[in-house]
C-alpha cells in the first residue's frame, strides 16, 4: 500500500517515513502545498497524512482540492491545532481522521490502517482466503494460524490482493500501489515477488489471469 506524507517538519517527516516503511508501506513525502498537488495529480495513493500548516497553502485548501477533484482516498490530518473548531473545519473539508501533535507513531499507524481498511470495505474481523488469514488491525498475515514472515514488497502486494480478494487486480494497479515515487517498477520484479509469495502461501492461492493481472482466491477462467 502506498501513502503520501505531506509535512514540512523534516524530522517528523523522516520519523513517519521510517515508521511506515518498517511496517511495509511505500511512502512518498512532500514538504509543501505545490509539490503535494503535483504528486497527488501524478500518482494514486491508498491514504495521505496531511499537515495543516504548509508552505504555499493550507492543508484545508489542499484537502478541499482533492475532494473537489473526486479523490476519495482516506486523509488523516496531523496538526498541533487541537481545538474543536479546528477539527470541525478539517472534517468539513473532507478529512477522515484527525490526530493532534505530538502523537505516538504506533497510534498513527493503527489509525491509518483503520482508515484504509474502511476505504477498502473490509470489516474489523479477520479476513481469510483459504489457508491464508489477514488481521486488518495489526496488518499481519498468517498461514494455517501461523504468523507469515513477509518482506516489505511481499506484504504490500499481498495486502493489495487481499483487499481485492476474489477479483482480478491489474499489474499496473499493483505496481502503482507498492512502489514509491522515483523507483523503477517493472513487471519482471513483480513476477519475481509473486513467485516468492507462491512459495510461502502455496501456488493455489495466487493465480495469473492472462493479459489482465493477478487474483487471490479461486482460479479464474
84-95 per-position pLDDT tens digit: 777 777 888 888
Beta bridge partners of 57: 54
What are the tens digits of pLDDT across the range 150-192? 988 899 899 889 988 888 999 888 888 777 766 666 667 888 9
Q: How confident is the model at residue 146 (pLDDT cuts 50, 70, 90)?
A: very high
Beta bridge partners of 215: 168, 207
- Report which secondary-structure segment, H or E, holds 76: strand 75-79
Q: Which of 49-53, 67-71, 86-90 has the lowest mean pLDDT?
A: 86-90
Task: Please say if the pLDDT value at position 148 is more than 60.
Answer: yes
Say what the pLDDT of residue 124 is. Answer: 54
The proportion of the chain whose per-residue pLDDT surpasses 70, expressed as a percent, equals 90
- HSE-CB of 74 using CA atoms within 13 angstroms: 20
Cα-atom radius of gyration of the chain, to the nearest Å? 18
The mean pLDDT of the chain is 86
Q: Which of 18-22, 36-40, 90-94, 198-202 has the lowest mean pLDDT?
A: 90-94
Domains of the chain (ranges; CATH) run 2-119 (3.40.50.2300), 127-216 (1.10.10.10)
Alpha helices in 27-58 (DSSP H): 33-42
Q: Is 26 buried (19+), middle (13-18) or exposed (0-12) by CB count in 10 A? A: buried
Say what the pLDDT of residue 125 is. Answer: 66
Q: How confident is the model at residue 14 (pLDDT cuts 50, 70, 90)?
A: very high
Amino acid at each position: 500500500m502506498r501513502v503520501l506524507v505531506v509535512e514540512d517538519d523534516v524530522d517528523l517527516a523522516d520519523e513517519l517515513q521510517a515508521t511506515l516503511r518498517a511496517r511495509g508501506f511505500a511512502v512518498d513525502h512532500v514538504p509543501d502545498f505545490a509539490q503535494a498537488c503535483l504528486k497527488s495529480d501524478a500518482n494514486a495513493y491508498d491514504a495521505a497524512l496531511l499537515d495543516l500548516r504548509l508552505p504555499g497553502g493550507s492543508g484545508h485548501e489542499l484537502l478541499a482540492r482533492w475532494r473537489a477533484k473526486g479523490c476519495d482516498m482516506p486523509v488523516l490530518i496531523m496538526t498541533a491545532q487541537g481545538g474543536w473548531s479546528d477539527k470541525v473545519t478539517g472534517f468539513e473539508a473532507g478529512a477522515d481522521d484527525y490526530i493532534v501533535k505530538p502523537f505516538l507513531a504506533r497510534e498513527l499507524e493503527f489509525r491509518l490502517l483503520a482508515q484504509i481498511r474502511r476505504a477498502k470495505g473490509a470489516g474489523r474481523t479477520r479476513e481469510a482466503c483459504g489457508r491464508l488469514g489477514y488481521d486488518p488491525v495489526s496488518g499481519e498475515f498468517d498461514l494455517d494460524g501461523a504468523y507469515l514472515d513477509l518482506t516489505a514488497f511481499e506484504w504490500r502486494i499481498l495486502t493489495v490482493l487481499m483487499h481485492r480478494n476474489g477479483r482480478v487486480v491489474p499489474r499496473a494497479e499493483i505496481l502503482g500501489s507498492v512502489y514509491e515515487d522515483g523507483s523503477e517498477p517493472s513487471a519482471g520484479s513483480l513476477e519475481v515477488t509473486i513467485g516468492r509469495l507462491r512459495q510461502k502461501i502455496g501456488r493455489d492461492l495466487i493465480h495469473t489471469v492472462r493479459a489482465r493481472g493477478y487474483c487471490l482466491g479461486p482460479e479464474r477462467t
